[in-house]
Structure 1
Amino acid sequence: MALAGVGLTLAVMVTAWVASLGPLPLQEARAVSTTIVDRHGKLLRAYAMADGRWRLPVNATTDVDPTYLKLLFAYEDRRFHSHAGVDPLALGRAALQLVTRGHIVSGGSTITMQLARLMEPRRQRSISAKLRQIARAIEIERQMSKGQILDLYLAMAPFGGNLEGVRAASIAYFGKEPKRLSLSEAALLVALPQSPENRRLDRYPNVARAARDRVLDRMVEDGVVSEADAASAEAIPVPRLRKPMPVLAPHSADNAMLSVKNNPIIALTLDAGLQQTLETLAHDRAATLGPNISVAILAVDNASGEVLARVGSPDYFDDRRAGQVDMTRAVRSPGSTLKPFIYGLAFEDGFVHPESLIDDRPIRFGSYAPENFDMTFQGTVPVRKALQMSLNVPAIALLDRVGASRLSSRLKQAGANLELPKDEAPGLAMGLGGVGITLQDLVQLYSGLARLGDVKPLREIQNQHAGAGEPQRLLDQVAAWQVGNVLLGTPPPENGVHNRIAFKTGTSYGYRDAWSIGFDGRITIGVWVGRPDGAPAPGIVGRTAAAPILFDAFARTGKLPAALPKPPKGTLIASNAKLPLPLRRYRPIGELVRTDGERAPHIQFPLDGSRIDASGGAGASSVAMPVKVAGGVLPITMLVNGVSVGELDNRRQRLIDSPGPGFTRLTVIDAKGAADTVVVRIQ
């Protein structure tokens, strides 16, 4: 009876003592460094914890070499998977060693008990501390699975200095993830946590090597490792210096850290292999271009809009090149890189075709007189050649017809942010770079050409902005294909292959920015070269500075350029001689074609660029829209957005059904092939 009372009292005391320990500090123990990984889970960059420690999340099943785990269990905790947190046999062995040798030889601690000690560090080894570990170990086993316990231990185990966990140690000492370790490396990682500060490789490499060899000798004694393998492993020297943590895609990682909160692992859409390749390319090319010149590269997947690589600068830590400034997101003058979209709208409006002829000659638009880059004029050239040669006068002539405001609104509608000088409206100068835009937005627009006119918003952080990636219309399919087809024939730089990549170059005023944006059927890549501070860089032009980098970037993707889409249904593919008469030669508004003394047709109503309310008022269905034409030889055919809706009457008038809100292209063609086109906005 007395013994029962004593037992009950002891039980109550033990229960009260355990309760006094408080809850397990699991939240603090599970805190890890934020890691940024690529689309395949490969580490791009890690950020130290607030107190400077490196502790990377780890999964024993997928992140750690089985050889290391085999040595760890054999050396530290043979019965890890069977005990309940405490191994009585190991404790008995430790107690016997203490009695027979007079000092502690081994602690008898299980991995779970070691985890308990890491959660609640105690500097002194004592019986009370050991009892506390035992109690906590049992508690841990009740609350966590074996896999969770092992993962947490592998993340928290100390390896000297501010390194915690097997991943941080493997990266710092071996420069690689612990997925594939040699026997020597695995044994070293088993040995270091026993006395992490006394065995620091960067301070006491000989001590660390001796500890590693003792682990290997013990494994030979226990039959885990053969003598030959152990001897080979012991012959390998240990590292003596720490390697830096990986810093791939630093600008993307910084942006992800700002965008995603309280998430230990942030997955990006980047491909680490391509990212590393393009970072090396940017670094090497910047070194040859000059000490103050920076290079930025952005690669995106056309189908998904996912960013595959982002190089914001050639060296993140180069202050001279403002390396920490992400030049893919910097607003700069685009030079001639907006010209393809001017031509695209002209193709879409139907007043010009890639094989049409256009004049490149001195001309004035009010007080504005554009000149070509080489200060010469080519005379009459095909529109195709005008775009491929990036002639300024034809581009401005077409922009004058298309309308700068319409170009601006179309680009903004497709997701590009354009920055104009304060209090200025879009003007003809934007066709030659008189507007601000980022490399990111340019690449997004060009990827829309590869998608036949649909622009998909770029996405770089996985599982973010779900449902917000609806494509936006940039051009109709035929116009987008025609632009891509023209750019595909642009003469490449010396290191390029003809007709493989559709691309455009650009150079901003004063040699401040050199650009080259290109696409194939799979990806779009953009390159910017210049000084981050905006200072001129004489001699830095798009064709000689940026285009070679672009073609090299495509070559280094490791894949042959993919074919562009086939021409959409309804695409007019013909030589100049076989084009309809109005399309054979571009003529500015007011310069109407005359046929046999007859005046060419001219749409009097609606006016080009006008807005028309065709809703019929609140609650009413859409009403017919009148079209009135002057001149032309009957019969005159009416087309709405390229589709015939019949002929005009003898008074050269017709009522057409409203095609719905948005921009609508109205075209009339008379019996002699003369035509006129207007674009109106129906609301």
Structure 2
Amino acid sequence: MYRFLRYIRQNKVKSTVILLMLIAYYFCLPQQLFKDPTATVLTSRTNELLGARIADDGQWRFPSNDSIPLKFKTCILLFEDEYFYKHPGFNPISILKALKQNLSSGSVKRGGSTITQQVIRLSRKGQPRSYFEKLKELILATRLEFRYSKDYILNLYASNAPFGGNVVGIEAASWRYFNRDVSNLSWAESSTLAVLPNAPSLIYPGKNQKRLFEKRNRLLKKLFENGTIDKLTYELSIEEELPIKPYPLPQITPHLLQKTVNEHKGKRAKSTINLGFQSQTNGIVRQHYNRLRQNEIHNISVLILDVNSREVLTYVGNSPTDKAHQNYVDIINKPRSTGSILKPFLYASMLDAGDLLPHTLVADVPTQFGSYQPENFNKSYDGAVPANEALSRSLNVPAVRMLQDFGLDRFYHYLKQLNLKDLKYNTNHYGLSLILGGAESNLWDLCSKYASMSSTLNHFNNNSSQYFSNEFCEPIYVKNKAVDFGQLQNEKSIFDAASIYLTYESMKQVNRPEEDESWEIYDSSQEIAWKTGTSFGFRDAWAIGTTKDYVVGVWVGNADGEGRPGLVGVQTAAPILFDVFDILPKSEWFTKPFDEMLEVKICNKSGYRASSICEETELRYIQISGKKTKPCPHHRLVHVDTKEKYQVNSSCEPIENIKNKPWFVLPPLQAFYYKNKNPFYKPIPPFREGCLSDSDISMEFIYPNQQSTVFLPKDFNGKTNDLVLKVAHSKPELELFWYVDNVYVGSTKEIHYMAILPNPGEHTLTVVDELGNELKHKITVAD
């Protein structure tokens, strides 16, 4: 050390020069050798190529991979640089041979460059091939050897070497020339790619095929001679044909690829896509598209989520239609009218809040809220229907009435907690039509929420009846990290487990498409909670279903919003939904969350908690919050004679002959429609003559609704038809007297229909029964 310091003091100028040269040598190599833009590459969860988007400079240049397959590695070293793992970045013997040959010929005939030097030359684009440039490459090559391992340098070469045309790098070349991953290439194919970088502008598939064939076979012969391949492999390899032209790259998930370009441009993204599911779903969509386009329905999107990991397993952004029908549009994230697809959220919200029990009867009668008059799809009414059946049958009127009773603001609060991103306006903008398609959402958000509800139920049962704090999180499609569900806690995120379970029990009963109607009799069939939706004007058809493990969402329609007859959820989207579920592994049904439920006595006829006078009751499990619901309001004690034919009281019948009978009674308007669908419904008997009572008298207009506008149709002769007024009375045997604007027009008994022909304008309708009870109604007759 002393001598070294003494030498420096004695040779300051020389030492300074040496130091500067060392510093220059240390910093001569750029930190990043290659700055060229790369293609965006999307692979499946098991690294199969799903698609790629060309780099911004028009080159097929994939991002560098971590390793090189053994076959190509063996071929490229044997062809380009046999002593790669032995030299320090340059090969003196090769350089001397090349120098001798070039000097004797008077031109550059041989390069003598190692793979390390070629990496440097590739990074220094456009530099002339001179001896001075060779010297620079040599210096930089040695510096490169100090910085990186041999394997990394070889990987740099394989990823950036030109392979002819606009193909750069071994991965892109393998897909473009052989339509497969480089790890699956044969010896002949690996040899073909190994010789291409040597003269990529002169020889590549489709150009100078004879020279390429000869060069490849010479390399194969060397592989045989050095014992790398046996004689049979060699003989078979030299018989393999060369590729003639580049293949197009796979486009298995083109819309997810575009999403990846937007979010991870120029990178390699390993997705969560299951290639098997994706390919089969693509086939299902293609099959249904070929049928639906006959009805000018051109667009379909399908999303499959893994409930437990929240990973995207299949992503079909659109059907294989053409540009004229917007095949480039990714429907999955586009807002569309929801139709009835939000109804399960309302049902779950009311259960969660304790405002409803699963079988509670809800009104299904003609209804009008101001100028808004919802109708059921089949234009008929049940009078009263169990809430779970109203959901499974997707009845519109009960849904709107349930929303009215629950409160629009309360339900909107639940939806905002769900973070449906397309709900951008306040409740006044949507009104009660919110539940029937007045709002918009997208397939991504909707599937995400159903997956969150399903995993809430799964996690509750698997984690000692606790909830995760971040249950309603976003799905992932890039497999770089797991979803963070948050911390376990006793408090629910949005819906409690029992409300979700009871909602799914109702959704399980939704009538399946015709070909699946008898699913319950087959052992191979699985239970699925699912729901369809159809937007106004037949523009959007939805079907979303969930099992314990998977959520499948389907949207069908036209991207430009054109409606089509027959574009109904159960007819167009549901068949796709069940075809997709058929390719997925079967799942067990959800476990009942007993810790969030309690067993209570329920009135069989009304679905409410049984009162003391309910005749037929049953013990059923309900959500804990349901214990605050009121007892059955539809049963009352009625005093009847011994034959139960008439109502009586002490004024006309001895007390010992009076029978106290519990009676199931609906309001008149509900009863009017209910008895048509339920032939065993028995209205309260009339009072026997001589003991008529005026208690419990009620009547309601069936048609028209209060404050409604009525249009009077005309027949073929141009004559205006009558307006038929209809009233339901709790005691239809009473005579009713009808007035229009205080002018008497007639009376009815038993069947209370009255035909009138009013002039255009506003009118007041008055009905008075023979006991003096009065009912008033205002209507407007359109001109």
Q: TM-score, with normalisation over the residues of structure 1?
A: 0.76
Give the 3-state SS of the residue equivalent to 1:237 in structure 2: coil
Q: Give the match for residue 432 of structure 1.
A: 436
TM alignment of 1:437-456, pairs within 5 A: 437-452=441-456, 455-456=472-473
1:312–1:214 CA distance, 2 compared to 1 (3 A): same
Q: Give the match for residue 213 of structure 1.
A: 217
2:28 to 18, 23, 31: 23
1:542 to 536, 558, 569: 569
What letter corresponds to residue 274 of structure 1 in structure 2? F
**Greater displacement, 568-577 / 491-500:** 568-577
Which structure 2 residue ranges, 5 or more long, are not aligned? Answer: 1-12, 458-470, 521-525, 618-625, 639-783
CA deviations on 1:557-597 (whole Å, 9 max, x unpaired) are 3x1234323333243567753962269999x9999557569
1:301–1:216 CA distance, 2 compared to 1 (3 A): same
Q: Give the match for residue 645 of structure 1.
A: none
CA distance in 1, matches of 2:291, 2:480: 39
CA distance in 1, matches of 2:213, 2:560: 50
CA distance in 1, matches of 2:208, 2:69: 25
> In the TM superposition, what is the alpha-carbon distance from 1:218 to its structure 2 partner?
2.8
CA deviations on 1:145-170 (whole Å, 9 max, x unpaired) are 11220111011111001111100100
TM alignment of 1:511-522, pairs within 5 A: 511-522=538-549
1:56 to 50, 62, 70: 62
Does structure 1 retain, via aligned residues, the 8 Å contact 2:337–2:438?
Answer: yes
1:47 to 25, 45, 53: 53
CA distance in 2, matches of 1:97, 1:494: 81
Q: Give the match for residue 288 of structure 1.
A: 291
CA deviations on 1:634-674 (whole Å, 9 max, x unpaired) are xxxxxxxxxxxxxxxxxxxxxxxxxxxxxxxxxxxxxxxxx
> In the TM superposition, what is the alpha-carbon distance from 1:343 to its structure 2 partner?
1.6
1:392–1:180 CA distance, 2 compared to 1 (3 A): same
CA distance in 1, matches of 2:112, 2:191: 20
2:399 to 369, 378, 395: 395
CA distance in 1, matches of 2:383, 2:633: 20
CA distance in 2, matches of 1:60, 1:186: 18
TM alignment of 1:554-565, pairs within 5 A: 554-557=581-584, 559-565=585-591
Q: Does 1:279 align with 2:282?
A: yes
CA distance in 1, matches of 2:138, 2:229: 31
Does structure 2 retain, via aligned residues, the 8 Å contact 1:449–1:483?
Answer: no
Q: Give the match for residue 560 of structure 2.
A: 533
2:314 to 291, 305, 309: 309
Does structure 1 retain, via aligned residues, the 8 Å contact 2:317–2:331?
Answer: yes
> In the TM superposition, what is the alpha-carbon distance from 1:242 to its structure 2 partner?
0.9
RMSD over aligned Cα atoms: 3.7
Does structure 1 retain, via aligned residues, the 8 Å contact 2:364–2:385?
Answer: yes
Give the 3-state SS of the residue equivalent to 2:390 in structure 1: helix
CA deviations on 1:187-224 (whole Å, 9 max, x unpaired) are 10111111112112133333322221122123233333
CA distance in 1, matches of 2:382, 2:363: 8
Does structure 1 retain, via aligned residues, the 8 Å contact 2:362–2:402?
Answer: no
> In the TM superposition, what is the alpha-carbon distance from 1:548 to its structure 2 partner?
0.9
Does structure 1 retain, via aligned residues, the 8 Å contact 2:412–2:427?
Answer: no
1:101–1:230 CA distance, 2 compared to 1 (3 A): farther
1:104–1:227 CA distance, 2 compared to 1 (3 A): farther
Does structure 2 retain, via aligned residues, the 8 Å contact 1:495–1:552?
Answer: no
CA distance in 1, matches of 2:537, 2:185: 54
Q: Give the match for residue 268 of structure 2.
A: 265
Does structure 2 retain, via aligned residues, the 8 Å contact 1:515–1:529?
Answer: yes
Pick the structure with greater CA Rg. Answer: 2
Q: Give the match for residue 481 of structure 1.
A: 501
Q: Give the match for residue 365 of structure 2.
A: 361
Q: Does 1:200 align with 2:204?
A: yes
1:283–1:214 CA distance, 2 compared to 1 (3 A): same
TM alignment of 1:250-649, pairs within 5 A: 250-260=254-264, 264-290=267-293, 293-315=298-320, 318-419=322-423, 424-452=428-456, 455-462=472-479, 473-496=493-516, 497-498=519-520, 499-557=526-584, 559-572=585-598, 576-577=603-604, 580-581=609-610
Does structure 1 retain, via aligned residues, the 8 Å contact 2:609–2:630?
Answer: no
Q: Give the match for residue 710 of structure 2.
A: none
TM alignment of 1:132-281, pairs within 5 A: 132-260=136-264, 264-281=267-284
CA distance in 2, matches of 1:75, 1:215: 7
What letter corresponds to residue 503 of structure 1 in structure 2? W
CA distance in 1, matches of 2:122, 2:79: 18
Does structure 2 retain, via aligned residues, the 8 Å contact 1:306–1:458?
Answer: yes
* Percent identity of equivalent pairs: 31
Does structure 2 retain, via aligned residues, the 8 Å contact 1:75–1:219?
Answer: no
Give the 3-state SS of the residue equivalent to 2:575 in structure 1: helix
> In the TM superposition, what is the alpha-carbon distance from 1:541 to its structure 2 partner?
0.7
CA distance in 1, matches of 2:424, 2:80: 67
Does structure 2 retain, via aligned residues, the 8 Å contact 1:387–1:486?
Answer: yes
> In the TM superposition, what is the alpha-carbon distance from 1:269 to its structure 2 partner?
3.6
CA distance in 1, matches of 2:487, 2:202: 58
Which structure 1 residue ranges, 5 or more long, are not aligned? Answer: 1-7, 598-683
> In the TM superposition, what is the alpha-carbon distance from 1:185 to its structure 2 partner?
0.6
Q: Give the match for residue 661 of structure 1.
A: none
Does structure 1 retain, via aligned residues, the 8 Å contact 2:95–2:113?
Answer: yes
- Paired residue total: 584
1:374–1:56 CA distance, 2 compared to 1 (3 A): same
> In the TM superposition, what is the alpha-carbon distance from 1:130 to its structure 2 partner?
3.1
1:122–1:419 CA distance, 2 compared to 1 (3 A): closer
What letter corresponds to residue 586 of structure 2 in structure 1? L
What letter corresponds to residue 439 of structure 1 in structure 2? L
What letter corresponds to residue 579 of structure 2 in structure 1? D
1:178–1:541 CA distance, 2 compared to 1 (3 A): same
Q: Give the match for residue 627 of structure 1.
A: none
